Structure 1
Amino acid sequence: MITESPLDPATAHYRKVVPAGEYWIHVVRKGETLRILDLEGNQAADTLFYNADDPAERYSACDTIREQGNIYLSTGTVLRSDLCRPMLTITADTVGRHDTIGGACSAESNTVRYALDKKSMHACRDSFLLAVVENGHFGLGKRDIAHNINFFMNVPVTPDGGLQFADGLSAPGKYVEMVAEMNIIALISNCPQLNNPCNAYNPTPIEVLLWGAGS
């Protein structure tokens, strides 16, 4: 559901532009609002969430989909952990659909889906792995790279149950915004994918913004 936010970017206490192909990892405190902004349109932001107080608890696509009865995310969606506890609630969304089943691109999937010579291309799984290696203080490792959300990505389910990577529904300035229901480690790979329409074949920057509790 399309819902505008009342929050003014000028009042955000944190702002960071994340170039295409790079990662962002940060703690979002309970009650804070996180906005992911698609600066130029048709970008995909692959995202993982963990309980900052116990990183073994993490975002679960299965629990989120089951509890809301919908494979797509938008305003009102409660993102749930693998203990079925609320992690974040989407409070504003100017895109209207975000994917939670398409997964993250990797060297292996690039090879299988596209061609052998695509294996060396940078992928979101590479960014996730680099993030956990370079930020060991979060207590995350390779085994913690689980199923992710693809914000701004459009992955329709075909009549025969397959997945289709379709043109994105986002545009410059579109965003998704959510309030943390617990202390969260947020890890975003700003997708570098060049081989399907999720980034309009032209990966571009995103911006992340944070507002304090009660903003």
Structure 2
Amino acid sequence: MKPLFEKTLSGAGMWSAVISRGKRLRLTDTDGGANVGMLLYNTRERTERYNMPDTLKGQHIFYLRSPYCLHSDMGRLLASVTSDTVGWHDTVCGHSDAARVLAKYGENNYQSARNGWHRNGHDCFLIELAKWGLGKKDLVPNLNLFSKAVADEAGQLTFVPENSKPGDSIELRFEMDTLVVLNTCQHPLDPDPVYRQRQVKLQVFAGDPPADDDPSLLVRPENLRAWENNQTYHTLLQP
């Protein structure tokens, strides 16, 4: 299927857009070892957004993979993972900030390096959120697609390098009109001493609503209940 939209995010790339209900977003790790920080908001009412605790506890998971879903803080589904070749996407480690990037990689500002300067996830998120009238108060725990972090018995988190291989991809089907905010800054726990700028291909495709036997809705009963809330929401929105 030919994509409706295609773009390559290079370096510590940033991107945001509204993707309408039913469309699919495919992200492909071109080089391997990528990280894509993601935030999601209901575009009609942006106080409704991706909720990490409900997504995890409702589906009895710690990391994201197919065929699981992304829940909002209003008991609805923002998106479903319809395809995934990676198998583990971090949900709990958050994003980097300027102090962490400076301490790990050293000084490298725009004045000296131009577009090769060292960005961080926190500032990239805020830049994109500002375009939509959002700000610091709207930052919530984000997803880190393509990245893996494991916990030991003491709860200590450890980053697993090169979790994603060249050509790996994840595809999301949106279950409501959704503001998608992305950046490709390195994972905050990545121990690599080199600031790497990996490319990620972004494609948006047309799609269909889920069928009655859709795996994402049936993998957990909580998903089906949330989908029923979506149906009520969209029915009442219709004129």
Secondary structure of the equivalent of 2:55? helix
Deviations for 1:18-70, whole angstroms, at most 9, x for unmatched residues?
Answer: 11212010111000011111111101000000001111111011000011111
Q: Which runs of 4+ in 1 moved over 4 A?
A: 114-121, 192-195, 197-201
Distance 1:198 1:150, change over 3 A: farther
What is the aligned residue count? 201
Cα distance in structure 2, aligned partners of 1:103 and 1:143? 15
**Unmatched 5+ stretches in structure 2:** 110-117, 210-239
Q: Could you tell me which residue of structure 2 aligns to residue 47 of structure 1?
A: 38
Distance 1:165 1:213, change over 3 A: same
TM-score (norm. length: structure 2): 0.77
**Unmatched 5+ stretches in structure 1:** 1-7
Letter in 1 for 2:126: L
Cα contact 1:44–1:198 (8 A) shared by 2: no
Q: Could you tell me which residue of structure 2 aligns to residue 191 of structure 1?
A: 185
RMSD, aligned α-carbons: 2.4
Cα distance in structure 2, aligned partners of 1:107 and 1:13? 35
Shift of 1:214: 2.4
Cα distance in structure 2, aligned partners of 1:93 and 1:167? 18
Cα distance in structure 1, aligned partners of 2:193 and 2:184? 10
Quick check: 1:80 aligned with 2:71?
Answer: yes
Distance 1:41 1:200, change over 3 A: farther
Cα contact 1:47–1:187 (8 A) shared by 2: yes
Cα distance in structure 2, aligned partners of 1:200 and 1:68? 36
Q: Within 5 Å, which residues of 2 pair with 1:70-149?
A: 70-110=61-101, 114=103, 117=106, 121-133=118-130, 135=131, 138-149=132-143
Letter in 2 for 1:205: Q
TM-score (norm. length: structure 1): 0.85
Looking at secondary structure, tell me which structure has more helix per residue: 2
Name the % identity. 28
Shift of 1:108: 3.6
